[in-house]
Amino acid sequence: MLHIENLAAEIDGKLILNGISLTVPRGEVHAIMGPNGSGKSTLAYVLSGRDGYTVTGGTATFNGQDLLAMEPEARAAAGLFLAFQYPVELPGVGNANFLRTARNAQHRLRGEPELDAVQFLKLARAELKKLSMSDDMLRRNVNVGFSGGEKKRNEVLQMAILRPEFALLDETDSGLDIDALKIVAEGVNALRGPNFSALVITHYQRLLDYIAPDCVHVLAGGRIIRSGGPELALELEANGYVGMVADAA
Amino acid sequence: MSVLTYSGIEGFFARFAALRPHLPGDVAARDRAAAILRVQGLPSIRDEAWKYTNLRPVAQASFQSAATADPSALLARLPQLNAPRLVMVDGHYLATLSTLPPQVKCLPFAAAPKFGTLANPACEPMVALNTMLAEDGFSLTIPANIDAGLIVIAHLTTAARSTHPRHAITLEEGARASLLEIYLGEGAYLHNPVTEIHIGEGANLTHARLQDEAEEGFHLGTIYARIAAHSIYDSFSLNIGARLSRTELHASLAGAHATAHLNAAQILTGVQHADFTTIVSHDAPHGASRQTVKNALAGRSRGVFQGKIHVARGAQKTDGYQMNQALLLSPDAEIDSKPQLEIYADDVKCSHGATIGELDADQLFYLRSRGVPESQARGMLVRAFLSDAIDMVANGASRAVLETAVELWWQRHPA
């Protein structure tokens, strides 16, 4: 599903990703853990197509398509979803309008019929109910005046409504209390299945208590220095990054 | 009728000479206006009030004395609203196309020519030009304590010539009305209307304006509003049309506890130029004025906002607020912003602010990462930028018309 090979990228001439290779097969959830400054967020942004990063080498393919050649909106329509570490506020844009516009834009890019207002509202209300969120969420402006937890819940709501095949979670657990963390995890777990994959980027093991990964990778210095099963996360939690990074060096 | 070619100010004088015997009303007032114009000429950028708006394209144009064409294509572009309407075609009031409620009085200027008391040709060259050449217009009166509801006023221009209509709107004591003025046209023309608005004590006028003149058109509109005690003038101008436009709004808070809202949004592209100029005079105590003016500028367009707030010595407890925000959608767009506060009372609250920015890259990426194509995402953010100004339009039907106009504009000119 997602296949990254030798990916190198820099920002403002500074090399951040230094030859990452990683494959996430269909139906699997992988975690990427790493210390601050290891390139975790850069990887998420490069994969989702944010401006300002220069790919200097390697490839990334998504269902066989050259991901790096696609516009961000085309990546979304192809089924990629980035849950932001810091969700962006959009004053003057209502959440319902935002969600419906996004869903229909993806339908249009895929050549599928669009949802009308009634169909969309029905769908949105059903998803809100599943996530135990209030309808009020739809009436507010996107993320404006939301608490940190509400912003992350809104990311999960977007994910539920956009139904991606692949979710990239960029430190979605940062700044969350345990209740919000559980809601986020439930949102991801609800999508799990043979046709859904995710790459969970996190600094702490905590989130992985709720989203059990099939595989854990450790990122340091812009490279993956170790890969293993869920037990790798526990080892990091017990021993910290320092020893592992030193071993790899 | 012979076809004459006019150019520059001499063209206007030639037209006046030809029309003079047939023009309605006080010919002496027209002669005085012509004399003023002969001395002052059309405004130039050397005049402080016209520093940012160069009328050379207007002065160089020659406006044919073209005949009125069939307005049905323009009529079809009007929003389908279940509301009475007043229709002007090429500056003439057309009763046959108008449907006004019986409690509202409307007289064409041609039938009852009165130049009014607020507009002063000696101070405003464009008003002098209008006074010299006004042929028709409307005079609308909402009688005391009547709520006229929503009335659409359509100004349709079909002919490539200059028109100088003279309008009056009067709300008697305690009257209420919600006007939606829409300006549409075809071809290269000059539309130079002057409108005097009298709002009686305790009256309330909501005045939404959609200036969507033809791409090659010029619009130079001057509005005077006199707001009596305890009355409200709530105006919003959306300027999206015309090659060059200026909306000059003079509001006098003449009685105590008067309120004026002079809000506006301008969305421009290509080589469009739009100037929104306000002159607010607080002439009585306890007045409140509010202005939120937004410019979204693409291409090589230029937006101008000049806002003057004058607080007279006796106008204590005045509360004046002015906010001007510009969004530059292209490196070649330009905004000129000139706030001007003149305060002669000592117990007042007056504030103003201005911001200029570009679209936020993080917001744009957030939308695109959700699958919204870039142009559509930019359109959403531009509409969001304008929304807190447009949201102030109190009448829901008018607000919906303005929102649709912005949306259609973006579809025509994705920037």
Residue B18's φ and ψ, nearest 5 degrees, are -75, -40
B27-40 and B125-133 are packed helices; what angle lies between their axes, rounded to 10 degrees?
Answer: 140
Residue A117: inside a domain? no
Distance from CA of B385 to the nearest CA of A (A): 7
Residue A182: inside a domain? yes
Give the helix ranges, DSSP H, for B41-147.
Answer: 56-60, 72-77, 125-133
The answer to whether the beta carbons of residues B228 and B259 sit under 8 Å apart is: no
Residue A185: inside a domain? yes
- H or E stretch covering B229: none
The interface residues of chain A toward chain B in range 219-248, judged by CB-CB distance below 8 A, are none
CA atoms of B93 and B309, how far apart (whole Å): 34
Residue the block writes with tokens 């949102």 = A187
Comparing alpha-carbon positions, the chain B residue that sits nearest to A52 is: B361
Residue A134: inside a domain? no
Does position B271 have pLDDT exceeding 90, yes or no? yes
Comparing alpha-carbon positions, the chain A residue that sits nearest to B379 is: A93
Contacts of A87 in chain B (CB under 8 A): 366
Comparing alpha-carbon positions, the chain B residue that sits nearest to A87 is: B366
- Average pLDDT (B134-152) is 97
Report how far Cα A133 is from the mean position of its chain's Cα atoms.
20
Residue A29: inside a domain? yes
- Average pLDDT (B316-335) is 97
The answer to whether the beta carbons of residues A156 and A185 sit under 8 Å apart is: no
The answer to whether the beta carbons of residues B345 and B314 sit under 8 Å apart is: yes
Mutate to test the interface with A, among B292, B325, B370, B375 (most CBs of A within 10 A): B370
What confidence category does residue B7 fall into, taking pLDDT thresholds of 50, 70 and 90? low
Mean pLDDT by 10 residues, chain A (249 residues): 96 94 96 91 95 95 96 96 95 96 94 95 93 90 92 93 95 83 88 95 89 94 93 87 74
Give domain limits for chain B: 8-359
Mutate to test the interface with B, among A75, A82, A90 (most CBs of B within 10 A): A90
Comparing alpha-carbon positions, the chain A residue that sits nearest to B371 is: A73
Give the helix ranges, DSSP H, for B289-373.
Answer: 361-369
**Which residues is B325 bridged to in the sheet?**
B294, B355
CA atoms of B169 and B197, how far apart (whole Å): 5
Does position B2 have pLDDT exceeding 50, yes or no? no
Does position B110 have pLDDT exceeding 90, yes or no? yes
Does position B182 have pLDDT exceeding 80, yes or no? yes
SS3 label, residue A78: coil
Report pLDDT for A241: 84
**Residue B128 exposure: Cα atoms within 13 Å on the Cβ side:** 21
Task: Give the E-state strand segments of B214-254 in sequence order.
Answer: 218-227, 232-239, 244-253
Cβ contact, residue pair A72, B387, below 8 Å: no
What confidence category does residue B6 fall into, taking pLDDT thresholds of 50, 70 and 90? low
Interface of B with A (CB under 8 A): 360-363, 365-374, 376-377, 380-381, 383-388
The answer to whether the beta carbons of residues B99 and B128 sit under 8 Å apart is: no
Nearest to A51 among B363, B365, B377 (CB): B365
Residue A110: inside a domain? no
Residue the block writes with tokens 């009303």 = B25
Report how far Cα B256 is from the mean position of its chain's Cα atoms.
26
User: Is pLDDT larger for residue A174 or for residue B118?
Assistant: B118
Cβ contact, residue pair B365, A50, below 8 Å: yes
Least confident span in A106-110, A172-176, B252-256, B340-344: A172-176
Pairing of strands B194-199, B288-297: unpaired
- CA–CA distances in Å: residue B154 to residues A239, B46, B84, B138: 76, 34, 11, 11
- CA–CA distances in Å: residue B81 to residues B85, B213, B332, B398: 9, 20, 38, 9
Report pLDDT for B236: 98
Does position B3 have pLDDT exceeding 50, yes or no? no
Report pLDDT for A130: 87
Cβ contact, residue pair B380, A93, below 8 Å: yes
The answer to whether the beta carbons of residues A93 and A128 sit under 8 Å apart is: no
Mutate to test the interface with B, among A41, A98, A100, A109 (most CBs of B within 10 A): A98
**Residue B157 exposure: Cα atoms within 13 Å on the Cβ side:** 33
User: Is pLDDT larger for residue A26 or for residue B66?
Assistant: A26
Comparing alpha-carbon positions, the chain B residue that sits nearest to A105 is: B372
The answer to whether the beta carbons of residues B261 and B293 sit under 8 Å apart is: no
Contacts of A162 in chain B (CB under 8 A): 370-371
- Average pLDDT (B40-61) is 93
Q: Is A79 on the interface with B (CB under 8 A)?
A: no
Nearest to B385 among A84, A92, A102 (CB): A92
CATH of the domain at A223: 3.40.50.300
Q: Give me A221's structure tokens.
A: 């210095």
Contacts of A72 in chain B (CB under 8 A): 365, 368-369
Mean pLDDT of chain B: 95
Q: Give me B289's structure tokens.
A: 């004025």
Contacts of B365 in chain A (CB under 8 A): 50-51, 72, 88
- Average pLDDT (B95-119) is 95
Q: Is A42 on the interface with B (CB under 8 A)?
A: no
- H or E stretch covering B40: helix B27-40
For chain B, the 3-state helix, strand and coil shares in percent, each to the nearest 5, are: 25, 40, 40
Say what the ipTM of the complex is.
0.96
The answer to whether the beta carbons of residues B134 and B162 sit under 8 Å apart is: no
What confidence category does residue B1 fall into, taking pLDDT thresholds of 50, 70 and 90? very low
Q: How many independent structural domains does chain A possess?
A: 1
What confidence category does residue B335 fall into, taking pLDDT thresholds of 50, 70 and 90? very high
- Average pLDDT (B16-20) is 95
- Average pLDDT (B301-308) is 98
Report pLDDT for B5: 53
What confidence category does residue B390 fall into, taking pLDDT thresholds of 50, 70 and 90? very high
Report pLDDT for A236: 86
Report pLDDT for B383: 94
Residue A114: inside a domain? no
- Average pLDDT (B45-73) is 90
Mutate to test the interface with B, among A48, A71, A73 (most CBs of B within 10 A): A73
Does position B341 have pLDDT exceeding 60, yes or no? yes
